[in-house]
């Protein structure tokens, strides 16, 4: 059973996650996060010394969610190269279409917000999470006998990230469909 401190810490992290997801890290205010968690700002700061610490904690939480999401994706992904690509992009489109106020990858959004802070620890966490996805994808492509699976995984990551950004810019799911077609050409070589 969790102690009261663990429950409070978890409540704060969930409030931070919700606030950062809705507003981004730079627009989310600590007093609003504290209110969302049902705490005073002073209590929140007794758990986390700064907004950067809050950011690191929520990114760690998000990393865990991303790992769970990858496992979920893997469980629904065919093992042949074209089925794999179709499934990845279909699941990406589904995530975008069924999530209220979908705003793309939280890691990507965060790194964009921190673009002028190359040494920020949050960027390290985001990079680690994206790399884990790329390594996972390379393994799936290798199992599907795709030549140069590491390079193709990087190409597909670029297509996924780019299609999410363009879908957000234009509000058009066709960018995800176009990325899927391009990814199929890459793995078909």
CA atoms within 13 A on the CB side of 137: 25
Provide the residue range defining the domain that includes 96: 51-187
- Model confidence, pTM: 0.77
Question: Do residue 76 and residue 101 come from a single domain?
Answer: yes
CATH number, domain with residue 37: 1.10.10.60
Asked whether the predicted pLDDT for residue 106 surpasses 80, the reply is no
Question: Do residue 39 and residue 87 come from a single domain?
Answer: no
How far lies 102's CA from each of 87, 106, 108, 164, in Å? Answer: 19, 10, 13, 10
Task: Name the residue with higher pLDDT: 165 or 155.
Answer: 155
Of the listed ranges 21-30, 98-107, 111-120, 145-154, the one predicted with least confidence: 98-107
The pLDDT tens digits of the residues spanning 43-101 come to 999 999 888 888 888 887 777 777 777 787 777 788 899 999 999 999 888 877 776 66
CA-wise closest residue to 47 among 57, 60, 38: 57
How far lies 123's CA from each of 23, 106, 116, in Å? Answer: 18, 12, 11
Question: Do residue 170 and residue 133 come from a single domain?
Answer: yes
Question: Do residue 6 and residue 25 come from a single domain?
Answer: yes
Question: Do residue 70 and residue 88 come from a single domain?
Answer: yes
Question: Do residue 42 and residue 96 come from a single domain?
Answer: no
Question: Do residue 45 and residue 78 come from a single domain?
Answer: no
Apex CA 134: angle with CA 25 and CA 18, to 5°?
Answer: 25
Q: How much is the pLDDT for 1?
A: 43
Question: Do residue 145 and residue 86 come from a single domain?
Answer: yes
Q: How much is the pLDDT for 155?
A: 98
Of the listed ranges 6-15, 110-119, 149-158, the one predicted with least confidence: 110-119
Q: How much is the pLDDT for 100?
A: 65
Question: Do residue 57 and residue 44 come from a single domain?
Answer: no
Question: Do residue 36 and residue 78 come from a single domain?
Answer: no
Question: Do residue 119 and residue 154 come from a single domain?
Answer: yes
CATH number, domain with residue 165: 1.10.357.10
**Number of domains present in the structure of the chain:** 2
Question: Do residue 38 and residue 104 come from a single domain?
Answer: no
């Amino acid at each position: 059973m969790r102690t009261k401190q663990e429950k409070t810490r978890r409540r704060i992290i969930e409030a931070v996650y919700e606030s950062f997801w809705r507003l981004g890290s730079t627009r989310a205010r600590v007093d609003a996060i504290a209110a969302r968690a049902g705490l005073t700002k002073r209590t929140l700061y007794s758990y986390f010394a700064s907004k950067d610490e809050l950011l690191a904690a929520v990114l760690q939480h998000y990393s865990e969610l991303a790992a769970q999401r990858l496992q979920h994706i893997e469980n629904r992904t065919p093992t042949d190269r074209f089925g794999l690509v179709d499934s990845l992009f279909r699941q990406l489109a589904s995530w975008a279409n069924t999530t209220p106020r979908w705003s793309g990858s939280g890691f990507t959004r965060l790194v964009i917000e921190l673009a002028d802070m190359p040494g920020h620890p949050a960027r390290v966490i985001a990079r680690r999470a994206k790399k884990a996805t790329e390594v996972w994808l390379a393994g799936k492509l290798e199992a599907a006998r795709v030549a140069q699976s590491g390079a193709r995984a990087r190409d597909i990551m670029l297509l996924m990230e780019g299609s999410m950004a363009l879908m957000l810019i234009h509000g058009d799911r066709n960018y995800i469909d176009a990325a899927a077609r391009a990814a199929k050409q890459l793995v078909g070589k």
